[in-house]
Amino acid sequence: MVQFHQHIISDLLNEPNGGLVVLSTGLGLPKLISALLSLHDPAQGSLLLLSASSSQRSEIILNHPEISEITSELPAHHRLSLYTSGRVFFITARILIVDLLTSRLPTTSVAGIVVLNAHSLSDTSTEAFIVRILRSSNRSLYVRAFSDSPQSMVSGFAKSERILKCLGLRKLHLWPRFQVYVSQDLERNPPEVIDVRVPMTPHMLGIQKSVIEVMDACLKEMRKTNKVDVEDLTVENGLFKSFDEIVRRQLDPIWHTLGKRTKQLVSDLKTLRKLLDYLSRYDAVTYLKYLDSLRASESFRSVWVFAESSFKIFELAKKRVYSFGRKRKLDNRNSDGNDSRATANNGVVLEETLEAPPKWKVLREILTEIQEERQKQAMVREDSLGGGKDHNGIILVACKDEHTCLQLQDFINNGQHKVMQEEWEKYLLGKVELQALPKCNKNKQKAPKGFGILNGIIPSNSGQRAEVTSISKQENDALLAAAHDIIKDAKRNSEVDGVSEGHDRGRKAQLKKKKSVINESDFEPETGIRSVDLPSKSKDKTNVSHKLYSHESGTESMNKEVLRKHSQNSENTNEFPSVYFHALESDQVILDILQPSFIIVYHPSLAFVREIEIYKAENPSRELKVYFLFYEDSTEVQKFEASVRRENGAFESLIRQKSLMLIPVAQEDNFQGSNSSFETQSIIAQNLITRKAGGRKEAGKEMQVIVDMREFMSSLPNVLDQKGIRIIPVTLEVGDYILSPLICVERKSVQDLFISFSSGRLYHQVEMMSRYYKIPVLLIEFSQDKSFSFQSASDIGDDVTPTSIISKLSLLVLHFPRLRIVWSRSLHATAEIFSTLKANQDEPDEVKAIRVGVPSEEGIIGNDIRAENYNTSAVEFLRRLPGVTDSNYRSIMDGCSSLAELALLPIEKLTELMGGHKAANTLRDFLDAKFPTLL
C-alpha cells in the first residue's frame, strides 16, 4: 500500500459523516477502496458498495474474495439475511432502492455506504434517493464517495458542491497527482523511463494532416452557426470524447431548433475523431477496411465525406495498402520478390504496398534489446548466485485494444510480412465473399478463409457492382482477381494438407452439437481463464496473456499456476520468451499479477502511466524499465499531453470551488425533514382546508403512486418521493405509473417517443393501457436542459409528411380518442402534474395493478423483476427479426435457449416453434442471407 492511500483513509475516518474523495485517474482507486474495506467492522452493520464499474468490482473482489453481490435473483428473505449480516456487499442502486421502499431492508442494519464513480451523481439520481431514505432513519450512517475522474467533476455549474449536497456530505478531499504526498510517494523510486519517438510514414502524416484539415473546416462551419461558444471549439479539444459533451451541452437546449447541417457537423466531428484515433492504432489494411465500411454506412448528407481533403484521406489510405495503375507491359512480374506481388489484368496493375505500422519495427528492436540485456544480466547473476527474485524478466506490452494485442502477438511470432499479407488476404476475401450471391451458403460453413463458398466461381457480370462509382471498375476487377488468386492458392494448400480442413470440420461439428461444447472451446466470458490443453489453433494462444485470472479465483496460488502455464505456453512458440500483451481497454489488473520487469507502452494512456507509477512505488526494490512508444508529431502525443493539462486544470478549478463552497452546517437536519411525512401532510392539510368534506376522508392518508420496477432507472421516482408521494415499486405489465384505479401513465422522454413510435412499441403500449384503464395517459417528458419543443417552425415544412412527429401524434390521437396526453416541461413539473391529477382520485390498488395485462399462463410471475429474469436485449433482438411476431416469440424462447442456438436451428425445428412454414422460412432466409457487397 502506498503511503498517500493511508493519508486518504485516515482523513476519511476522521469524519464520521463521510466525505467525497476525488483523485487523479489511475491512482489506484480500487486498491484504496479495498484497503478501506479491510477496516470494516461487521459489528457496526453492513456496508454497501454502490455503482462500481465491472472492472473496479473485479479488482476489489481480487483483494476481498469474501465480498458477494446482492442481485435481484436472490429471493427476498435471503436478501434480508444478507443485509443484516454486517458484511460488505456490492449492490445496484435499483435493487437497493426497491428494497428500501418495500421496507425489506432495515435501515439500522446498514453502517455505511460507499459510492464509486461519484462524478455521475446528481440530486435526482437514485443514489441520492437512497442516501436520503437511509439518512432519514439512520443518523449514524456514513457515506464515502469516490471519483477518479476530476474532469467530469468540473463539467457544469458547481457540480462538486451539488454532489456533496445530494449525498449530505460536507467534506471534499482532493488528491491530484501534483499533491505533495502523492508526488513524494511516486517520485521516491521512479521507474527508468525511455521515451521512443517513432516517425510516422509520409502517408500517415498525410492522412493525419488531411483529417485535421477536415476537422478544422467542420469546426469553422460550426462557428458560423453562431450557436456554440467559440472558445471551446479547438482541434485540441476535438481530440477528446468530452468534446462531444461540450458541444452537446451547449446545443442540447436548442437541439430541436437546429438545422440538419449543424447536427450532421456534430456527428461528423465524432467520426473524424475516430479516424485520427484509429490511424495510430490500426494497421494500414484494417484502416482501409474501416474507411470502406464507413463510406458504405455514412449517409450522403455527411459534410466531410465530400470535402477535398477527405478525398486525400481515402487516396492515401489506399496507397498505404496497394497502388493501382495502368502499365503497358509487365516484364518483371515476380522479380521484385515477395514483398510486392503484382497481378496483371488487361494491362492493369495492382501492386501491394502493404505498409506496416512503423511502431512494429521499433517494438521488435526494443524486444531484442531487452533480450540481450537480459542475457547479460543472467550471466552476471550466475556469477553472483544472488537471488534473482526481484527480476523475473517478464515483458509487458500494453496496447489500447484487444485487436492490437492479437496482431502484435502475431507479428512477433510470424514477422511483419506474414501479418500484413494475412490482413490483406482477409480484406480481399472480404470483398469477394460479399460479391457472392446469397443462398449459396446452405451448408453453414464457418469459413473465414472462404473455401467452398466460391470455389472459383466469381460472378462474371458485375451488375451489382455497376452502381458503385467510387472505385473504378477496373480497379475493382483487379482487386477481385487478386482475391481469386489467393483463393486458388488456398485451395491448393488445403488439398495438400487435408488435416487442417478436417480439423476445421471437426470444430464445426462440435459447434453444431451443443452449446456447452461451444463454451468450452470458445471464450468463457465469466471466468476469463483460457485453459491451455484445449484443442487450440495458433490464435488461441494469443488471448492467453490478457485474460489470465478469473473473477472468482482471488487466491494467489491459483493465479500463479495460471501464469506458469501460460509462460510455458508462450515460450514454446516465441522467439522472445515471457512477453505478455495487455489490452488497456479490458480494464483489468495486470501489473500486480504479472509483476513485469519491462513495460512497453505501445499506446500511451495517462491512467496506465499512473498505474505503473503506483506499482513501482509499492515495489520499490523491483527493477522496472518502461518504454514509451509515441508517433512523432502525431495527434497521439498531442492527445496525451493535453490529457495531463486537462486534468491539472480540472483540479485547479476544483480547488478554487472548494475554497468558495457554501455548505450549511446542519445539513443532516435538512435530510430529516425532507422525507418525513410531516411536511407532506401539512401540505395536504392546507389544501384540505379549502375543500369540502369529501377530502376529509383522506386526511390521514398520504398519496401513493405505483411505479414499475423498470422506471427506477429514471429519476422520476426520486423526485416524486421528494414531493412527499409514497412510491410503491412493483412489476407492471401495463403502464409505468399507476396514479389511481382509473389513471395509468406511460412515460416517454422525447427521445423514447421518437424511437417507440418508429418501432411500433408505443402503439402497442397505448393499446394495452386503453384496454385496461379508463384514463390512459401518455406523458411526454421534456428534459429541463433541452428545448421545450419538438422542432423549430422552419423545420415543419410545407406538406403533411408521414415521417413528421406531428403526423404520428395526430394518428395516435385519432386511433385512441380516449388517450390523454400530458406535456411536461421537466421531471419536477411531472411530479407536480401527478399530484394534481391524483387530488380527487382514489389511491391505486397495488395487487390489482400487478395483475393487469399479465397473460394467465404466466400469472405466477410474482415479485420478480422482469429485466433480471430476461435477457432483455436478446428478447428485443429476437422480436425484431423478420418472421418473429408477438404471438410466436414466446414459444421460440421456450424452444431454444439463446440467439446463438437459434442461429443454428434447422428449418424443421423453426417451423415447429414458430407455428408456420412461412414464418420459419422468412427467418431462416434472413439469418443466412449473404451480407450485400460493399464494393
Interface of this chain with other proteins, residues 448 to 487, rule: CB under 8 A: 448
**Can residue 882 be called a binding residue for other proteins (CB under 8 A)?**
yes
Task: Enter the C-alpha cell of residue 372.
Answer: 540481450
Enclosing H/E stretch for 675: helix 667-675
Pick 71 or 682: Cβ nearer other proteins: 71
Cα(265)–Cα(275) distance, rounded to whole angstroms?
A: 15
**Nearest distance, CB of residue 305 and other proteins, angstroms:** 13
Give just the sign of the alpha carbon dihedral 708, 712, 716, 719.
positive
Tell me the window of 57-65, 615-623, 660-668, 891-899 that interacts with other proteins (CB under 8 A).
891-899
**Nearest distance, CB of residue 697 and other proteins, angstroms:** 20
Tell me the window of 94-102, 165-173, 809-817, 846-854 that interacts with other proteins (CB under 8 A).
809-817
Query: Beta 348-352 vs 68-70: how paired, if at all?
Result: unpaired
**Nearest distance, CB of residue 66 and other proteins, angstroms:** 24
**Can residue 296 be called a binding residue for other proteins (CB under 8 A)?**
yes
Q: Compute how many residues bind other proteins; rule: CB under 8 A.
A: 109
Among 96, 727, 777, 850, binds other proteins (CB under 8 A): 777
Pick 495 or 858: Cβ nearer other proteins: 858
Can you tell me whether residue 460 is helix, strand or coil?
coil
Pick 624 or 935: Cβ nearer other proteins: 935
Enclosing H/E stretch for 420: helix 416-435
Pick 86 or 895: Cβ nearer other proteins: 895
Pick 119 or 289: Cβ nearer other proteins: 289
The CA-atom distances, in angstroms, between 439 and each of 60, 883, 925, 929 are 50, 18, 8, 6
Among 188, 361, 418, 880, binds other proteins (CB under 8 A): 880
CA torsion 10-92-746-861 (nearest 10°) is -150
Cα(290)–Cα(301) distance, rounded to whole angstroms?
A: 19
Residues 384-423 that bind other proteins (CB under 8 A): 401-403, 406
Task: Enter the C-alpha cell of residue 750.
Answer: 422525447
DSSP 8-state symbol, 49: E
DSSP 8-state symbol, 776: E
Cα(468)–Cα(465) distance, rounded to whole angstroms?
A: 5
**Nearest distance, CB of residue 841 and other proteins, angstroms:** 10
Among 174, 349, 902, 920, binds other proteins (CB under 8 A): 902
**Nearest distance, CB of residue 773 and other proteins, angstroms:** 13
E runs forming strands in 440-532: none
Pick 379 or 860: Cβ nearer other proteins: 860
Residues 610-649 that bind other proteins (CB under 8 A): none
Cα(493)–Cα(485) distance, rounded to whole angstroms?
A: 12
Among the listed residues 321, 316, 313, 314, the one whose alpha carbon sits nearest the alpha carbon of residue 285: 321
Pick 356 or 762: Cβ nearer other proteins: 762
**Can residue 728 be called a binding residue for other proteins (CB under 8 A)?**
no
Residues 480-519 that bind other proteins (CB under 8 A): 511, 515
Burial class of 275 by CB neighbour count within 10 A (0 to 12, 13 to 18, 19+): buried
Q: Are 912 and 929 in contact (CB under 8 A)?
A: no
Task: Enter the C-alpha cell of residue 888.
Answer: 410466436
Residues 427-446 that bind other proteins (CB under 8 A): 430, 433-434, 441, 444, 446
For the chain, the residue count is 935
Pick 301 or 818: Cβ nearer other proteins: 818
Among 771, 898, 907, 912, binds other proteins (CB under 8 A): 898
Residues 563-592 that bind other proteins (CB under 8 A): 583, 585-587
**Can residue 862 be called a binding residue for other proteins (CB under 8 A)?**
no
**Nearest distance, CB of residue 739 and other proteins, angstroms:** 11
**Beta partners for residue 629, in sequence order:** 196
Tell me the window of 151-159, 173-181, 724-732, 877-885 that interacts with other proteins (CB under 8 A).
877-885
Pick 196 or 518: Cβ nearer other proteins: 518
Residues 47-76 that bind other proteins (CB under 8 A): 73
Pick 214 or 233: Cβ nearer other proteins: 214
Angle at 605 between CA 65 and CA 591, to 5 degrees: 35
Tell me which residue has cell 462500481. Answer: 52
Among the listed residues 739, 704, 706, the one whose alpha carbon sits nearest the alpha carbon of residue 724: 704
**Nearest distance, CB of residue 229 and other proteins, angstroms:** 23
- The values of phi and psi at residue 817, to 5°, are -60, -20
E runs forming strands in 253-384: 322-326, 342-345, 348-352
The CA-atom distances, in angstroms, between 237 and each of 151, 271, 470 are 13, 14, 32
**Nearest distance, CB of residue 265 and other proteins, angstroms:** 18
**Can residue 525 be called a binding residue for other proteins (CB under 8 A)?**
yes
**Beta partners for residue 175, in sequence order:** 23
Amino acid occupying residue 89:
F
Pick 33 or 753: Cβ nearer other proteins: 753
**Can residue 758 be called a binding residue for other proteins (CB under 8 A)?**
yes
Residues 822-841 that bind other proteins (CB under 8 A): 822-823, 825-826, 829, 832-833, 836-837
**Nearest distance, CB of residue 808 and other proteins, angstroms:** 5
Pick 345 or 826: Cβ nearer other proteins: 826
**Can residue 874 be called a binding residue for other proteins (CB under 8 A)?**
yes
Residues 250-289 that bind other proteins (CB under 8 A): 274, 278, 282, 286-287, 289
Task: Enter the C-alpha cell of residue 547.
Answer: 485474460
Q: Are 846 and 706 in contact (CB under 8 A)?
A: yes
